[in-house]
Structure 1
Amino acid sequence: MSSAVANGFAGAGGGLIAQILTYPLQTVNTRQQTERVIKKGLDGQHATSPSGNQCPVGTLFQMLQVIKNEGWGGLYSGLKPSLFGTVASQGVYYYFYQVFKNKAVAIAAARKAKGLGDGNVGMISWLAVAAIAGSLNVLLTNPMWVLVTRMQTQTQAERNILERKRVALLKEASQNSDIASTIQDKLAELESSKPRPYGTLQAAAEVYNEAGIRGFWKGIVPTLIMVCNPSIQFMIYETSMRSLKEKRATNKNGVKPITVLEVFLLGAVAKLGATVVTYPLLVVKSRLQAKQDIGSNVSLRYSGTFDAIVKMIRYEGLLGFYKGMSTKILQSVFAASVLFMVKEELVKAFMILTEKSRKIRLDAIK
């Protein structure tokens, strides 16, 4: 088994485990990112969402609210396509990452043989390797993440729509007492309505009906720009790992192998740095991929990446780009740490099995 294939399988396995462990945090974070909150002053009142709710509260409280309103299943909305997307995404990414990494290492070695450089791959090369692998991954797997975002935020969007209808009915009743009884019937009907999560096929049909095939690549511009996230992440990780190995190599007591805990910590530090830098793009991407039906308030409906950025700055301020960041840091850092840790162990296992298989074949030939 080649190193690229081994890394592809290992990346898929590590990503799958990390996704299952952190998915509830991811669901809450996506809802935090896509909840519109108009900043104080634009409407003459305190900051509110389009549904009239006050500003979002803490992560734990939101998780409890989801469980209360939707059950435990609400925290796992869109899990199936997400797991499929994770396996495909991590597999594609790590496969191409290893392919281009091997080429970068070979080029560095060839340059050293010619007396150019020290044989190490530089930071710019690591960034380029990760960027190319990330771009290929994004173009191939973006449709799956559009569906996941829709499924994670569908009940939230439906609840906002019901709340706006309720507010409109109350306003109508206050202006015309003659239709009060009719309004009460409609209000009772709304109260009995409960948003329910929809399935993958329903989400796909909704996306297609809204924008056709192009709808499955919504948010592709900020997503492609966000390729710099794993690029930064892997630059930090690979550089830190190389420094640690070089430091261990100079140890007079012998070379001590890198431990699982050290890989976990290096992965956490790498992801933390990448997340802080690129989080605003993640918010824009989630806004574009989420359901755009937000009533008559067209000022918060986005036609594209630039339109979303301009309207977020105007109506929500710069803080709007960092909504739910603490949740994302917790989720992504833990997920990345688990992914790196599991991936490294799986690669070792694959290589051991490959070596044993090779020896068995050689023995059989003899």
Structure 2
Amino acid sequence: MSDALINGLAGAGGGIIAQLITYPLQTVNTRQQTERDPSKSASRDGAVRQMLEVVKHEGWERLYGGLAPSLVGTAASQGVYYYFYQIFRNKAETAAQERWRKGSGDGSVGMFQSLVVAALAGCVNVLLTNPIWVVVARMQTHKKTNFGSPNHGLQSLSNEAIDFPIVEHLPYRTSHVIQELYDEAGMWGFWKGVVPTLIMVSNPSIQFMLYETLVKKIKRRRDLKAKGAEGLTALEIFILGAVAKLGATIVTYPLLVVKARLQVKQGLIYDKRHQYTGTLDAISKMMRYEGVSGLYKGMGTKIIQSVFAAAVLFMVKEELVRAARVLVTGELRLIKSKSKPS
């Protein structure tokens, strides 16, 4: 089993576990990002209070709206990302060793090379998995209401027409979202928000650059020669993953908000404030109608969710990689011992 495949499978496993733990926060955060009424400060109410509101008015299941496609997307994204990341990383390490043998550099991959490697892996990941995340964003922001409620009259319908996203009482399944996207824009509808998402590859690029740099510094201090994060404890990897994700999230958060706005329903046709023709148009209208704060809606929730999820992902991934390598090594030893003449 190749090292790239081991890292790809381990990344998928770690991503699924992190997703299951933090999914309700993701749902709340997507709703915060796509709230377009400046008078409603989603972050002011707090993530916990919003989750309780969702449970009270829509039921527990709405906190997990889109979980199934999200798990598929997480497994695909993390698998694709880590697979190609390891391939590109191996090539960068080989090139660094070649330069060292020729008398240039110290034989290790520098910060800039780490950034390029992460960016290339991120671009491949975005282009392949963007359709899944458009579906997930729609399902997370779909709101459920009870049409049998005695208070649900014309005034309620009027308010719901203004609120975002549009409220529907019918089950909102993956097949419905796929058909909706295709009816809106054909196949291109599944790549809504791909431009800011491609720009967002800088997030994992910055994240992995910081992570690799921190790991390298710690290993140098301890004079560890082991590959990857071997030699570090699970807690140390957890903390390093959290610090790296925190830095990356603070820098790139506005792009997350723009991406979410482009991927979910655009609101009423006659309300041009809620209609975006592209990334620049979305940024312009958000700045005009919501101010700079509109670009940072739900940032507190996102920091908590993404930092914790990234820390769990790094920790689980590294543990799975270690377990897989031990398994492969054990298998190889068994084969060698059987091949020896008695």
Give the aligned partner of residue 291 of structure 2.
317
Runs (4+) off by over 2 Å: 54-57, 156-159, 162-170, 193-197, 293-296
Q: Aligned residue for 1:343? A: 317
Is this contact kept in 2: 1:14–1:342, CA < 8 A?
Answer: yes
Query: Relative to structure 1, is the Cα distance of residues 167 and 196 closer, same or farther in structure 2, using a 3 angstrom cutoff?
Result: closer
Q: Quick one: distance in 2 between partners of 1:299 and 1:323?
A: 17
2:248 maps to which of 274, 296, 299: 274
Distance 1:131 1:55, change over 3 A: closer
1:202 equivalent in alignment to 2:176: yes
Whole-Å separation in 2 of the counterparts to 1:330 and 1:195: 31
2:293 maps to amino acid: L
Does structure 2 conserve the Cα–Cα contact (< 8 Å) formed by 1:27 and 1:152? yes
1:21 is matched with 21
The 8 Å contact of residues 43 and 301 in structure 2, kept in 1 or not, is answered as no
Q: Matches of 2:13 and 2:158 in 1, distance apart?
A: 51
Q: What residue number does 2:101 align with?
A: 113
Which shifted more, 83-92 or 147-156? 147-156
Task: Note closer, same or farther for the CA distance 1:249–1:220 as it changes in structure 2 (3 Å cut).
Answer: same
**CA gap 1:298/1:109 in 2 versus in 1, 3 angstroms:** same
Q: What are structure 2's unaligned runs of at least 5 residues?
A: 160-166, 225-229
Unmatched tracts of structure 1, length 5 or more: 39-46, 171-192, 251-255
Percent of aligned pairs sharing the same letter: 59
Q: Which has the larger radius of gyration?
A: 1
CA contact (8 A) 1:108 1:117 kept: yes
Indicate how the Cα distance of structure 1 residues 363 and 200 shifts in structure 2: closer, same or farther if over 3 A, else same: same
CA gap 1:268/1:163 in 2 versus in 1, 3 angstroms = farther
Change (3 A) 1:345 1:298: same
One-letter code aligned to 2:37: V
Which of 247, 252, 271 matches 1:297? 271
- Separation in 2, partners of 1:213, 1:84: 20
Note closer, same or farther for the CA distance 1:312–1:267 as it changes in structure 2 (3 Å cut): same
Distance across 2 between alignment mates of 1:157 and 1:223: 31
2:128: which partner in 1?
Answer: 140
Equivalent pairs counted in the alignment come to 325
Q: 2:233 aligns with which of 259, 262, 269?
A: 259
Q: Residue 352 of structure 1: SS of its match in structure 2?
A: helix
| Aligned AA (1:22) | T
Q: Which residue of 1 aligns with 2:155?
A: 166
Residue 185 of structure 1 aligns with which residue?
none
Aligned pairs for 1:31-46 (under 5 A) are: 31-38=31-38
Work out whether residues 14 and 343 of structure 1, in 8 Å CA contact, stay in contact via their aligned partners in 2: yes
Q: Partners of 1:349 and 1:273 in 2: how far apart?
A: 29
Which shifted more, 136-145 or 204-213? 204-213
Aligned to 2:188: 214
Match of 1:226 in 2: 200
The aligned residue for residue 164 of structure 2 is none
Give the direction of change, closer, same or farther, for the CA distance of 1:307–1:169 in structure 2 (3 Å limit).
closer
1:332 is matched with 306
Aligned to 1:130: 118
SS in 1 for 2:45: coil
Q: 1:48 to 1:262 in 2, by over 3 A?
A: closer
- Aligned partners of 2:298 and 2:240: how far apart in 1? 24
Q: What amino acid sits opposite 1:136 in the alignment?
A: V
Residues 300-354 of structure 1 deviation map (CA, whole Å, 9 limit, x = unaligned): 2111111101000000000000000000000000000000000000000000000
Q: Give the C-alpha shift of residue 55 in structure 1.
A: 8.7
Question: Hey, what's the Cα distance between the residues in 2 that align with 1:164 and 1:132?
Answer: 52
Deviations 1:215-246 (A, max 9, x none): 00000000000000000000000000000001
Between the aligned partners of 1:169 and 1:117, the Cα distance in structure 2 is 66
| Pairwise CA distance, 1:276 | 0.2
Q: Following TM superposition, by how much is the alpha carbon of 1:56 offset from its aligned partner in structure 2, in angstroms?
A: 6.2
1:194: how far off? 6.7
Contact 1:29–1:328 (CA<8 Å) still a contact in 2? Answer: yes
Q: Scaled by the length of structure 2, what TM-score is found?
A: 0.90
Note if contact 2:57-2:145 (Cα within 8 Å) is conserved in structure 1: no
User: What is the alpha-carbon distance in structure 2 between the residues aligned to residue 155 and residue 326 of structure 1?
Assistant: 22
Classify the secondary structure of the residue corresponding to 1:313: helix
Bigger mean CA deviation after superposition, 292-301 or 140-149: 292-301
Once residues 117 and 343 of structure 1 are traced to their aligned partners in structure 2, the CA distance between those partners, rounded to angstroms, is 30
Q: Is the contact between residue 43 and residue 300 of structure 2 (CA under 8 Å) also seen in structure 1?
A: no
Q: Please report how far the alpha carbon of residue 158 of structure 1 lies from its aligned counterpart in structure 2 after TM superposition.
A: 11
Give me the whole-angstrom Cα distance separating, in 2, the residues matched to 1:165 and 1:344.
55
Give the aligned partner of residue 143 of structure 2: 155
CA–CA separation in structure 1 for the residues paired with 2:281 and 2:235: 44
2:7 — aligned with what? Answer: 7
SS in 2 for 1:257: coil
Query: What do the CA deviations read for 1:50-95 (whole angstroms, capped 9, x no partner)?
Result: xxxx996221111001001111101000000000000000000000
Q: CA deviation at 1:296?
A: 3.0
- The one-letter amino acid paired with 2:47 is T
Q: Which residue identity lines up with residue 6 of structure 2 in the other structure?
A: A
SS in 2 for 1:140: helix
2:12–2:76 contact (8 Å) kept in structure 1: yes
CA contact (8 A) 1:151 1:197 kept: no
